[in-house]
């Protein structure tokens, strides 16, 4: 197991959980037992990640992603009020940055995927940067808020990222994020079959309690948390089941994919809240 103190409480007392995960014996925080190196992560998040490995076709599902980002913008502004500027960690193809810009927000972001950043910068004309957030040239107070949409679970060292976010935020600034909730009723019921468990892409597994404890260590107070619905296309849903579902669901999804034309499956979209994806709004004290 990769040696590391618990990022939520600081203890070094891990017990094996399941499927390559360990749990902190003191606070219950869960993470992957092995944390990949930067070289491994670079291979994991190549072009294939967005085209068949984690996502069936990220840009092909653009309408679903855009609907999710519009809904998230509405929710966070309902909590935080008007947002003047935001920086997204893990901006991918820039669809959130575009949503923010369409609402008059000065937006920038960073990602380690060269293909995704190229699309955001060249095709969409956004301020998208290639690299690691820890190395990004950002002045303290330059951005009123930071966002991590379905990103924190992918980071081998989220404590370093959040520590820097806290230093860069002005007093009263915001961190908005979404991530899986391993403390949710569905995750507890599913156990090692929970669909969110798939290292080495998902490395950190928060509950509401451990996320609150983790952010508090960096001077960030969660003022609002809720489970959030996710808009998916039928195409993306079937692809996800084929990749991460239990054997019966994989077989069923494979059959359905072969019978339903892709053009139709992409257009069929639905929103569903299973209670195991949380949205948190945290403010710098």
Q: What is the mean pLDDT of residues 235-239?
A: 84
Q: For 52-78, what is the mean pLDDT?
A: 90
**Using one digit for the tens of pLDDT, what is the confidence trace for 252-277?**
888 988 888 888 888 899 899 999 99
pLDDT score for 6: 98
What is the CA 9 to chain-centroid distance, rounded?
A: 22
Q: How many Cβ atoms sit within 10 Å of the Cβ of residue 28?
A: 16
Q: Which residue has the higher pLDDT, 220 or 48?
A: 220
pLDDT of amino acid 258: 86
Do residues 92 and 120 touch, judged by C-beta distance below 8 A? yes
Q: In this structure, are residues 120 and 93 in contact, taking their beta carbons and an 8 Å threshold?
A: yes
| Domain regions of the chain by residue span | 35-231+275-284
3-class SS string, 185-240: HHHHHHHHHCCCCCCCCCCEECCHHHHHHHHHCCCEEEEEEEECCEEEEHHHHHHH
CA Rg, the chain, in Å? 18
- Report strand pairing: 204-205 vs 30-32: antiparallel
Q: Is the per-residue pLDDT at 134 higher than 80?
A: yes
Report if pTM > 0.85.
yes
Q: Calculate the CA dihedral of residues 5, 8, 10, 14 and round it to 10 degrees.
A: -50
Q: In what order do the strands lie in the sheet with 204-205?
A: 14-16, 21-24, 30-32, 204-205
Mean pLDDT for all residues in the chain: 93
Q: How far apart are CA 173 and CA 166, in angstroms?
A: 9
pLDDT tens digits along 68-94: 999 999 999 999 999 999 999 999 999
Indicate the range of 31-40, 138-147, 187-196, 214-223 predicted with least confidence.
31-40
Do 177 and 280 meet the contact criterion of CB atoms below 8 Å apart? Answer: yes
Tell me the CATH number for domain 35-231+275-284. Answer: 3.40.50.150
Question: Any residues with CB less than 8 A from the CB of 47 and at least 6 apart, and which?
Answer: 113, 115
């Amino acid at each position: 197991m990769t040696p590391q103190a618990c990022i939520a409480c600081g203890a070094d007392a891990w017990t094996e959980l399941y499927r390559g995960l360990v749990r902190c014996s003191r606070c219950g925080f869960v993470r992957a037992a092995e944390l990949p190196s930067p070289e491994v992560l670079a291979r994991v998040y190549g072009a294939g990640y967005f085209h068949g490995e984690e996502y069936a076709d990220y840009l092909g599902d653009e309408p679903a992603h855009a609907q999710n980002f519009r809904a998230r913008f509405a929710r966070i502004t309902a909590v935080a009020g008007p947002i003047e500027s935001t920086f997204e960690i893990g901006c991918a193809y820039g669809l959130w940055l575009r949503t923010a810009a369409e609402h008059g927000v000065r937006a920038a972001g960073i990602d380690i995927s060269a293909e995704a950043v190229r699309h955001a910068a060249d095709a969409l004309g956004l301020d998208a940067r290639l690299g690691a957030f820890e190395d990004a040239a950002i002045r303290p107070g330059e951005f009123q808020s930071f966002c991590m949409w379905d990103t924190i679970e992918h980071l081998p060292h989220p404590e370093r990222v959040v520590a820097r976010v806290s230093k860069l935020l002005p007093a009263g600034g915001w961190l908005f994020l979404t991530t899986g909730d391993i403390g949710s009723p569905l995750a507890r019921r599913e156990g090692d079959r929970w669909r969110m468990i798939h290292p080495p892409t998902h490395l950190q597994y928060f509950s509401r309690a451990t996320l609150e404890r983790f952010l508090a260590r960096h001077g960030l107070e969660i003022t609002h948390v809720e489970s959030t619905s996710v808009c998916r296309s039928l195409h993306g849903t079937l692809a996800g089941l084929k990749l991460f579902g239990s054997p019966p669901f994989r077989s069923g999804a494979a059959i359905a994919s072969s019978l339903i034309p892709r053009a139709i499956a992409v257009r069929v979209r639905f929103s569903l809240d299973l209670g195991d994806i949380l949205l948190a709004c945290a403010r710098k004290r």
